[in-house]
Amino acid sequence: MLDIAEELDRWVGQGRDFAVATVVGVGGSAPRQPGAALAVDTDGTAVGSVSGGCVEGAVYELCQQALRDGETVLERFGYSDEDAFAVGLTCGGVIDILVAPVRADDPARPVIAAMLAAAARGEAAALARIVDGPAGLSGRALLVRPDGSYDGGYGAHPELDRTVAAEARALLDAGRTGTVEIGAQGSRCGAPLTVLVESSVPPPRMIVFGAIDFASALVRVGKFLGHHVTVCDARPVFATRTRFPDADEIVVEWPHTYLERTATDGRTVLCVLTHDAKFDVPLLKVALRLPVAYVGAMGSRRTHLDRARRLREVGLTESELARLRSPIGLDLGARTPEETALSIAAEIVAARRGGSGVALTGGHTPIHHETAARTRIGSVA
């Protein structure tokens, strides 16, 4: 649901009633991941998507029904060999979809409204909703903040509230959306229930070091991929807003000094385009010891060998050097700055999603990779 938070936040502000269909579980080759949502208001206006088009019509009707009767339902869509014309996914996957009304008389509406507002502002928070469990709990919600505090709840089950809040905080810390299974009273045993936790986190950072023409193209691609993009260069004549109008932030500072003081996390990507040993070596010495998602450096194979030698001389280990993507990017035969930016972005996506970077044509591996970082059922980064 949080992928359409800005639009739904506007709907809440306008006092609209609506229903939201949210993907809560996937199997096989499904087009959308848990958390993807389609919302429909009382006028029939729709926003978002749960399947890329395969089952949108049927889900739209379920949303309208939920608005009429106020009932929350869990529906499964999949491919049927017996009836190829039935509503389902042509890609052969299976998706479970939670359809919940968000009406003025819904006791969970204030919690959902607060979550949508936080997500629209880019603040970190998590929404935990009961997907499957005992009667009376379906549709209830809990808003969990990074410090572990929470609003809302599941009625007369304070231990359940505390347990769900702890699970949601763990997923929020990791910036992940997914489902967890716990006992209905908050214990690890007893009648199970399934909770969908949707995490809203600030956009992942992309820091581009080196204010060159290739950096300008990479900034544009980084923004397209949803990153908060910073350009850093020690030379004020090059690191200007005129040259990088699409960057969120431009920093004039020695790259390694800036990297030492700025915030990074496990989703941050670092792209070193400085192409100069006096910048590269101190910068990469810091970068390769940070727990970030990606570190890539531009240069020829000869430059890479010289850079690796210099990094060993300043104390980097072989395991630290193994984290370096150099020469940066995938082999696309790129020539122009735009093509090079595309090859870098492709490598970043492949590293994040566990892809091989080879052509899909003629292959037999899954199109959508399962990553080791998945949490319980169907969680995504």
Strand order through the sheet with 150-152: 150-152, 141-144, 125-132, 192-200, 177-183, 377-380
Question: Residue 90 pLDDT more than 90?
Answer: no
Instruction: Say yes or no: 29 and 98 in one domain.
Output: yes
> Does 373 score more than 60 pLDDT?
no
Average pLDDT over residues 329-345: 94
Residue 31 has pLDDT above 70, yes or no: no
Instruction: Clarify whether residues 213 and 308 are in a common domain.
Output: yes
Nearest-angstrom CA–CA distance, 132 and 111: 19
pLDDT of residue 83: 40
Percent of the chain with pLDDT over 90: 51
pLDDT at 76 over 90: no
Cα angle at 257 between 313 and 220, to 5 degrees?
105
- Are 53 and 133 members of one domain? no
Check: CB of residue 175 under 8 Å from CB of residue 193: no
Mean pLDDT calculated for residue range 51-76: 86
For residue range 262-292, what is the model confidence (pLDDT) as tens digits?
Answer: 999 888 999 999 888 889 999 999 999 999 9
pLDDT for 53 = 63
Element containing residue 161 per DSSP (H, E): helix 158-173
Indicate the range of 34-43, 140-149, 166-175, 224-233 predicted with least confidence.
Answer: 166-175
Same domain assignment for residues 96 and 68 = yes
What is the pLDDT, as a whole number, of residue 215? 95
Q: Kindly report, residue by residue over 236-258, the tens digit of the pLDDT.
A: 999 999 999 999 999 999 999 99
Q: Is the pLDDT reported for residue 200 higher than 60?
A: yes
Give the Cα-Cα-Cα angle 369, 375, 377 (nearest 5 degrees): 80
Residue range(s) defining the domain that contains residue 32: 1-106
| pTM, rounded to two decimals | 0.65
Residue 318 CA to residue 297 CA, distance in Å, equals: 16
Cβ(94)–Cβ(27) under 8 Å? yes
Residues 198, 226, single domain; the answer is: no
Between these two residues, 23 and 92, which has the higher pLDDT value? Answer: 23
Whole-number pLDDT of residue 365: 66
Residue 279 to residue 210: CA distance in whole angstroms? 9
Q: Go through the chain and tell me how many residues it has.
A: 381
The domain that contains 257 carries what CATH number? 3.40.50.720
pLDDT given for residue 255 in this prediction: 96
Residue 134: phi and psi, rounded to 5, are -60, 150
Is the confidence at residue 82, as pLDDT, over 60?
Answer: no
Q: Which residue has the tokens 């019509």?
A: 57
Q: 48 — alpha (psi -120 to 50), left (phi > 0) or beta?
A: left
In a domain, 270, yes or no: yes
The tally of domains found in the chain comes to 3
Average model confidence (pLDDT) across the chain: 85
